[in-house]
Structure 1
Amino acid sequence: MTPFVWMFIKNYENLRKFIINNKSISSLIQLEYSAFSEATVPICTFVLSNFDENYAGTYLKLSEFTGGMDVQKEKVLQIINGDEILNDKNKFIMKKENFNSIPGNPISYWVNDSIIDIFKNSKKLGKIVAPKCGLKTGITEKYVRKWFEVDYNNIGFDIPNREMAKKSMLKWFPASNGGQYRKWYGNIEDVVFWYDDGYEIRNLFNPNGKLKSRPQNMQYYFKKGLTWSALTSKKLSLRLSPIGNIITGAGYGLFNNEFSLLTIMGFLNSKIATYFSSIFSETLNFEVGILNRMPILIKENSEINKLVSDNITISKENWDNYEFSFDFIKHPFMNFNSDLLKECYEMYASDFKLKFNELKKNEEQINVFFIQEYDLKNHIKKNVPNEDITLFKPNLTEDIKSFISYAVGCMFGRYSLDNEGLQFAGGEFNIDNYHKFIPDEDNIIPVLDSEYFEDDIVNRFVEFVKICFGEETLEENLDFIANALAKNKKPSREKIREYMLKNFFNDHKKTYKKCPIYWQFSSGKENGFNCLVYMHRYEPSLVARIRTDYLHKTQKAIEQAIANCDNIINHSSSNTEVTKATKEKSKLQKQLKETQEYDEALAHIANQNIKINLDDGVKVNYAKFQNIEVSKEGKKSKKINLLKKL
């Protein structure tokens, strides 16, 4: 019994050759991934016999049968006892010489003679194009950022080569860095520090004098190509790596000057390539060697190129609908000519359905072409399951949340109703650049459970909706938004306030991959005080202004609310009113105490006038406001977080 990775991965290729050429596998059982609970990895069990040149071994594939070793034992016995269905589907006889016909010699025992002939009569993909590993920086946390963390003005986009990148004197450049299962376009969220042609990374040495980084295949940096994720939870999926991107160690690259990358992309995103990749490896690690060994029987095809080009366009439009794309221009609801958000959502969903069906049809046409070219109609069907169409699908609740996020971006001036695209993400902020909807002037937006400030986040949001869609439909639009957020019977503004207070930051943190750009200063779980600020507009005096202009005013408002509760408790003849006021007073007292402790921590930081450097990224800068030690005479010191935890 062994882990079954030796059957497939490159590290064991010499072992496989030795077994194939000097021994015979008389029988092998590939067990279900987690069948043998004592092991922490998927395993196989096999018997080797002395060398027999013409020996054909017996192989059982049980990977689809979940349920532990009892189930595996039952299936083996059923096969031995002649179960026709299992014998036809899960039992294979394979001559050892056939393993030598498959590049890399994987023990892919289920491959039949027609597939073996394809390998014998085809070229390897690696002879036509150049699959390459990319940049490994050596210190990821120092040299790789999400693009939205850093000063946007320091990012170089669409730069065609290393020479021009160096002359630009810019610091950060887009990186094709792997990511989730997605085809055609997307997963471009990272930037890598390549200032001065990567001088710092290219000269990063360990204390022993050995180069710590691996700036490999630099001649392909910034070139247009294809990229895929080294590790994925699903199948092989190729995406466009546009001009200006640097390939990395987690997102490999594929390049070529002659053969069309579009035709290659169509092939590698087809079910044919998925089938061949399963022959080379049953692990989820799609290393360069797997693509290098792909059998190529095709020539460049204009029809396939058109389908692939259309798929890239559809996928890019879908990716750019979301803020994590640096080509995001405005929320998709704003693309439709209606003053009702409900109608905007319905038109958005309808438009998506057309695009989805077009992409699915295109993918199935691509499958048909390659199935015919490889004569594999008996092995592979053209159909593409809906879950394999890698577009972000409409979801009312999530899309309303993203609309709220866009509104918050406009409140801070990141986006503007006057101009499409990113308006401000670093540099010198000028509020005079905005006209239709004016951003918050001091970069501090209160997020409280009561309306203590005219410019609190709910009032600003209501104003935003009114400006975008008109006053006549305001209440209907607010109801639509609120009902998408919560199904209770509370008033719409109350539902929206509750979402802003309790859930907005967590959703923002998730969207921005734990690198939030809107920071929530929070006094704690009692929600005595909360406010949002925009990281890219941060100034050293900000914390002091939060304290004096907002926290202290909130404390006074809470004290007044407590006094109002006391008035009701002392003078009301209604038991219901008294009970309600008593409960409210208890909550307010807890909030006041919480804000008083928070005030001490804020004062400590306010006096320091802390500076932040956007190049350091969110996590480094965020930590400057966390675990603030507050001590009182005669009491044990206490650590307080000024910001909500990441």
Structure 2
Amino acid sequence: MPKVDIAFERNDTVKWMPINKGGDFRRWSGNQEYVINWENKGVEILNFKDTNGKLRTRPQNLSYNFKESISWSLVTSGGFSARYYPECFMFNVAGICCFPESHLNYILGLLNTKITSIITQILNPTINMNAGDVAKLPIVVSDKKEPVIESLFKELRYDSKQDWDSFETSWDFQHHPLIRKVSTIAEAFDQWQIECDNRFNHLKDNEEELNRIFIDIYGLQDELTPEVEDKDVTVRKADLGRDIRSFISYAVGCMFGRYSLNVDGLAYAGGEWDKVNSAEGGRAGTLGCASKYVFFPADKDNIIPICDDEYFEDDIVGLFVEFVKTVYGTDTLDENLKFIADALGGKGQPKDVIRNYFLSDFYSDHCKIYQKRPIYWLFDSGKKNGFKALIDMHRYQPDTIARIRTDYV
């Protein structure tokens, strides 16, 4: 089974470190979304004061940062769920952690069972689950069952992380799951749907087996059953509308050079763009950059117009059509565009439906995905859709706005 830890180098010169802030109801892995400025051991945060000179920060338990942990969200309105966090993370009050000296995987397995769900509701029937509440849980360790529980935990965590990494907001995202060596996006979606169903069922079966083992350990066969409801399985099934929209988002990322069909993961997220696109330049650890955008070139000026017709050579719909053609081939282009348009739910010619999505809905979807912290910025002339354009914030230059005005408007 492949290694699933997120790799972060921990030293005092690194400015941004991962921080655990809880998150939605999710078991085993995931909810890894935030970073914190901890340069020089957090000197800026530790010395943050208001205008009157009063210290406004008081971080607690700093000695426990960057240790392997089990975590759950303080707010448990969606139910109690625990996750594994590797050694590279800090934490705050919203992402409560415990640091077992032994049996970590065993304890995490117990925390995600029906037994813990029932006991925590008795201990604290409110929506907040504090460290003291979880500390009261009776831990019964079965040496005989522990190897089986360890094995189940590894599979559960692997499935959960594979699901989390399938979407571009994951730090370990590699490429969109509909990018496959097939000739139609319909076939790619069918394969993705089977993959999601298998992962969902595999994780559900393992959670039920875990319930069965712990119910037996605690002697609660007459009180509890091992079955897990579908709504409590925290990996996602395929969703045609959502997945086509995320495919479009990935395509836009390839247009800007954030992603590439030649390399996995982030192809560019800052630095000198000219060096990234030269044979001798590029970021350490990436392909020698001249070959990064061979299959689908990134937009040269970092300005992609969105208009009610194809007025410009780099019109976003024209670029998207070229992207679909590159991924799945020319022969099936019309079929693929129709499939995408039908998934978007629009009426009319496929290109018109896709254009209307870019004009009306793409940017709101983008802001929602990135929690109102957009990677791409929208320039908009007003309500009548006269002219819109997207830029990638990482490629912004002092003359970008002037070029929008002179070269496009």
TM-score by length of 2: 0.92
1:158 corresponds to which residue? Answer: 8
1:37-56 aligned within 5 A: none
Matched, 1:261 2:104: yes
Q: Which residue number in structure 2 is paired with residue 350 of structure 1? A: 194
CA distance in 1, matches of 2:224, 2:120: 14
Name the CA distance, whole Å, in 2 between partners of 1:508 and 1:207. Answer: 36
In the alignment, is residue 498 of structure 1 matched against residue 356 of structure 2?
yes
Alpha-carbon distance, 1:487 to partner: 4.3
Deviations 1:435-479 (CA, angstroms, capped at 9, x unpaired)? 111010000000011111121000000001111111111111111
Which segments of 5 or more consecutive residues in structure 1 lack a partner in the other structure?
A: 1-155, 552-646
In structure 1, the residue matched to 2:41 is 197
Matched with 1:287 is 130
Question: Residue 328 of structure 1 aligns to a residue in which SS?
Answer: coil
Q: Counterpart of 1:538?
A: 396
Percent of residue pairs identical: 44
Compute the displacement of 1:379 (Å). Answer: 2.0
Mean CA deviation greater in 298-307 or 173-182: 298-307
Identify which of structures 1 and 2 has the higher relative contact order when contacts are C-alpha pairs closer than 8 Å and 6+ apart: 2
Distance 1:367 1:237 in 2: 14
1:206: how far off?
Answer: 5.2
Amino acid at match of 1:311: L
Q: In the aligned structure 2, how far is the partner of 1:454 from the partner of 1:201?
A: 47
CA positional deviation for 1:194: 0.4
Aligned pairs for 1:205-354 within 5 A: 205=49, 211-257=55-101, 259-299=102-142, 301-334=146-179, 336-354=180-198
Shift of 1:362: 0.4
Letter in 1 for 2:189: Y
Name the counterpart of 2:294: 435
CA deviation string 1:521-550 (max 9, x = no partner) = 001111111000001111111100001101
Counterpart-to-counterpart distance in 1, 2:165 and 2:42: 29
SS at match of 1:332: coil
Deviation of 1:337 (Å): 2.6
Partner of residue 109, structure 1: none
Q: Distance in 2 between matches of 1:411 and 1:470?
A: 17
What SS does the aligned partner of 2:379 have? strand
The answer to which structure has the higher strand fraction is 1
Q: How many residues align?
A: 387
Contact (CA 8 Å) 1:229, 1:252: kept in 2 or not? yes
Query: In 2, Cα distance between the equivalents of 1:348 and 1:310?
Result: 20
How far apart are residue 256 of structure 1 and its match?
A: 2.4
Secondary structure at the aligned position of 1:185 is classed as coil
Alignment of 1:520 onto 2:378:
yes
Q: SS at 1:191's partner residue?
A: strand
Pick aligned residue for 1:485 from 314, 327, 344: 344
Distance 1:359 1:511 in 2: 25
Task: Decide whether the 8 Å contact of 2:346 with 2:353 is kept in 1.
Answer: no
Deviations along 1:27-54, one digit per CA (max 9) or x if unpaired, are xxxxxxxxxxxxxxxxxxxxxxxxxxxx
> For 1:426 and 1:500, how far apart are their aligned partners in 2?
25
Measure how far apart 1:208 and its partner are: 7.1
1:232 and 1:502 map into 2 onto residues whose CA distance is: 35
| SS of residue paired to 2:163 | helix
SS of the aligned residue for 2:134 comes to helix
Q: Following superposition of structure 1 onto structure 2, how do residues 102-117 of structure 1 map, counting pairs within 5 Å?
A: none
Residues 375-427 of structure 1, C-alpha deviations (whole Å, 9 max, x = no match): 11222211100000001221001100000000000000000111111011111
Q: How does 1:453-602 map to 2 (within 5 A)?
A: 453-488=312-347, 490-551=348-409
Mapped partners of 2:150, 2:54: distance in 1: 45
Structure 1 counterpart of 2:233, which letter? I
1:447 counterpart residue number: 306
CA distance in 2, matches of 1:207, 1:331: 47
* 1:370 corresponds to: 214
Q: Distance in 2 between matches of 1:495 and 1:204?
A: 50
Cα deviation 1:255-306 (Å, max 9, x = unaligned): 123x221100100000000011011111110111111111112245010111
1:409 and 2:253 aligned: yes
Q: Aligned-pair distance for 1:431?
A: 3.0
SS for the counterpart of 2:178 is helix
Separation (CA, whole Å) in 2 of partners of 1:441 and 1:505: 21
Q: Is the Cα contact below 8 Å between 1:226 and 1:261 reproduced in 2?
A: yes
Match of 1:296, SS?
coil
Amino acid at match of 1:303: V
State the alpha-carbon separation in 2 of the partners of residues 493 and 427 from structure 1. Answer: 35
The superposition leaves residues 504-527 of structure 1 with CA deviations (integer Å, 9 ceiling, x where unpaired) of 001111111111111110011111
**Which is greater in Rg?**
1
CA positional deviation for 1:212 = 2.3
Provide Cα deviations, 1:581-616, integer angstroms capped at 9, x if missing partner: xxxxxxxxxxxxxxxxxxxxxxxxxxxxxxxxxxxx
Maintained 8 Å contact 2:49/2:56: yes
CA distance in 1, matches of 2:92, 2:110: 23
Consecutive unaligned residues in structure 2, runs of 5 or more: 1-5, 279-288
Following TM superposition, by how much is the alpha carbon of 1:216 offset from its aligned partner in structure 2, in angstroms? 1.4
Quote the offset at 1:235 in angstroms. 1.4
Distance in 2 of aligned mates of 1:218 and 1:412: 40
User: Helix, strand or coil: the match of 1:479?
Assistant: helix
Q: TM-score, normalised by structure 1?
A: 0.59
1:173 and 2:17 are equivalent in the alignment? yes
How far did 1:330 drift? 0.2
Per-residue Cα deviation, 1:184-210 (whole angstroms, up to 9, x for no partner): 111101001101010111223457776
Counterpart of 2:386, as a letter, is G
* CA RMSD, Structure 1 to Structure 2 (Å): 1.5
Instruction: Decide whether the 8 Å contact of 1:320 with 1:326 is kept in 2.
Output: yes
Q: Contact conserved, 2:303 with 2:391, CA < 8 A, in 1?
A: yes
* Distance in 2 of aligned mates of 1:267 and 1:422: 36
Pick the structure with more helix per residue. Answer: 1
